[in-house]
């Protein structure tokens, strides 16, 4: 499979067009923490001994840790797209050249399914509202147009 930047005219193509910002790697993790809250950490007893765990780091009976902390992992940002969209009021589009999501996460407006009947002035107004929301949420980023696609050929 080949990847093309920009407009893809082949009928067997998968493409997208987004107005917004792109986040990668740590930026996506930071967004998840910011929108969903920090990952949860749980504390479980490190052993079955009957001790006061709040006063010691290690069990004086068996030597194991008094507590074992487990941190929840957010392996796949795709699992949280709907929740992020609801909280931000923007669309989340994940794309990595047609495979599965995660390589690039776009926040903004997906233009792929815009109705041709929607007047241009209304589209401009919608994009202005999207831009205002992005500036409010991500003041250090500049919104832009992104497009990409894959085709069989």
126: three-class secondary structure by DSSP:
helix
Q: CA 109 → CA 20, 35, 88, distances in Å?
A: 6, 18, 12
Domain boundaries, the chain: 14-39+74-138, 42-71
Question: What string of pLDDT tens digits covers the 153 residues of the chain?
Answer: 344 455 444 444 546 788 999 888 778 778 888 888 877 888 899 999 999 998 899 999 999 999 998 887 766 667 778 888 898 899 988 755 444 444 578 899 988 888 889 999 999 999 999 999 999 999 999 999 988 665 544
Location of structure tokens 């409010």: 136
Q: Measure the CA–CA gap between 21 and 2, rounded to whole angstroms.
A: 24
Location of structure tokens 């509202």: 129
């Amino acid at each position: 499979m080949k990847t093309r930047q920009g407009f893809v005219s082949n009928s067997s193509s998968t493409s997208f067009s987004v107005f917004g910002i792109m986040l990668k790697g740590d930026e996506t993790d930071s967004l998840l923490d910011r929108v969903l809250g920090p990952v949860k950490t749980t504390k479980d007893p490190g052993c079955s001994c009957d001790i006061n765990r709040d006063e010691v780091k290690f069990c004086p009976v068996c030597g194991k840790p008094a507590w074992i902390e487990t941190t929840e992992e957010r392996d796949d940002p795709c699992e949280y797209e709907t929740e992020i969209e609801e909280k931000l009021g923007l669309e989340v589009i994940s794309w990595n050249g047609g495979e599965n999501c995660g390589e690039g996460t776009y926040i903004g407006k997906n233009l792929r399914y815009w109705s041709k009947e929607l007047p241009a002035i209304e589209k401009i107004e919608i994009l202005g509202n999207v831009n205002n929301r992005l500036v409010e949420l991500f003041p250090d980023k500049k919104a832009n147009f992104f497009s990409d696609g894959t085709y069989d050929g």
